[in-house]
Amino acid sequence: MTGDTTVSGISIGILGGTGDQGKGLARRFALAGHPVLIGSRSAGRAQEAAESIGSGARGAENAVVATEADLVIVAVPYDGHKALLESLRTELAGKIVVDCVNPLGFDKQGAYALPVEEGSAAQQAAAVLPDSRVVAAFHHVSAVVLMDPAVEKVDLDVLVLGDDREATDTVQALASVIPGVRGIYGGRLRNAFQVEALTANLISINRRYKAHAGVRVTDV
Ligand SMILES: NC(=O)c1ccc[n+]([C@@H]2O[C@H](COP(=O)([O-])OP(=O)(O)OC[C@H]3O[C@@H](n4cnc5c(N)ncnc54)[C@H](OP(=O)(O)O)[C@@H]3O)[C@@H](O)[C@H]2O)c1
């Protein structure tokens, strides 16, 4: 587990925070008392999203959020992932950058994992951001569940992967501020592909069972 790591008071920025995933995470972290900064390509859209979240969340352009936040979550579609991170290399230097991007394609058979030249979206982030501490996490959380006020406890383990122990400890502790959630260390960044790809299986499960399925790790 994460031992004595505390994330109390750290501010959380979310790139692409105007989307379902970003807003869902923003809502839960704001409710847990963290200063939250929603990022967007448009300051206006970011402010609108922040107002809809409430609990003191603020909105700004992605570059401002990347500069101001202590820890930054990347919640944009895989299509825009590499270019956005390339444009924010300086702002994100020295920071923990949490990548939750699932490179997926969709066809008549449903969702499937896309190949990524660097190995995974998280490894792509690490390649583009050599001066940041890239961690992979939050791939399997359902934005619908995060946004649902009726769901007080989210029944889910968040797999946290990375090569920097202090950074993965921090992100595990951050995941655990969401009631019901445990942050579980899931290995080095080179193993992020299958964690991202597993989301395709979860989407198939959700379609068959009309659910918002998550993952629990036993015996830890
Ligand atoms: N939805 C989920 O339940 C869920 C769960 C786990 C992981 N994820 C992952 O989280 C990420 C975001 O998911 P989402 O459903 O929230 O996606 P989304 O709504 O399609 O996109 C999120 C935000 O990204 C920004 N964006 C879109 N295209 C962009 C581009 N080319 N460059 C820069 N920014 C762009 C947009 O914000 P602005 O237009 O305001 O800039 C948009 O509101 C995805 O990679 C997904 O795999 C999603």
At 144-197, the pLDDT tens digits run 999 999 999 999 999 999 999 999 999 999 999 999 999 999 999 999 999 999
Residue located nearest, by CA, to atom 19 of ligand 1: 19
Arithmetic mean of pLDDT over the chain: 97
Q: Kindly state the average pLDDT of the residues 69-75.
A: 98
CA–centroid distance, residue 40 to ligand 1 (Å): 10
Please give all residues whose beta carbon lies within 6 A of any atom in ligand 1, as ranges.
16, 18-22, 40-42, 45, 75-80, 84, 100-102, 139, 141-143
CA–centroid distance, residue 196 to ligand 1 (Å): 15
pLDDT at 3 over 70: no
- Burial, 71: exposed, middle or buried (Cβ in 10 Å; 0-12, 13-18, 19+)? buried
Mutate to test the pocket of ligand 1, among 14, 18, 21 (most ligand atoms within 8 A of CB): 21
Q: What is the per-residue pLDDT for 2?
A: 55
Better-predicted residue by pLDDT, 2 or 188: 188
Beta-strand (E) ranges in the chain? Answer: 12-15, 36-40, 58-61, 71-74, 96-99, 104-107, 110-113, 133-136, 156-162, 181-187
The minimum-distance atom of ligand 1 relative to the CA of 140 is 6
Q: What is the per-residue pLDDT for 4?
A: 76
The minimum-distance atom of ligand 1 relative to the CA of 76 is 24
Q: Who's near 15: CB < 8 A, 6+ residues apart?
A: 22, 39, 62, 65, 66, 72, 73, 74, 75, 76, 84, 88
pLDDT, tens only, 10-46: 999 999 999 999 999 999 999 999 999 999 999 999 9
Q: What is the per-residue pLDDT for 113?
A: 98
Torsion of CA 20, 198, 113, 154, to 10 degrees: 0
CA–centroid distance, residue 138 to ligand 1 (Å): 13
Q: Kindly state the average pLDDT of the residues 82-90.
A: 98
CA–centroid distance, residue 85 to ligand 1 (Å): 14
CA–centroid distance, residue 115 to ligand 1 (Å): 19
CA 77 – CA 100 distance, rounded (Å): 10
pLDDT at 60 over 80: yes
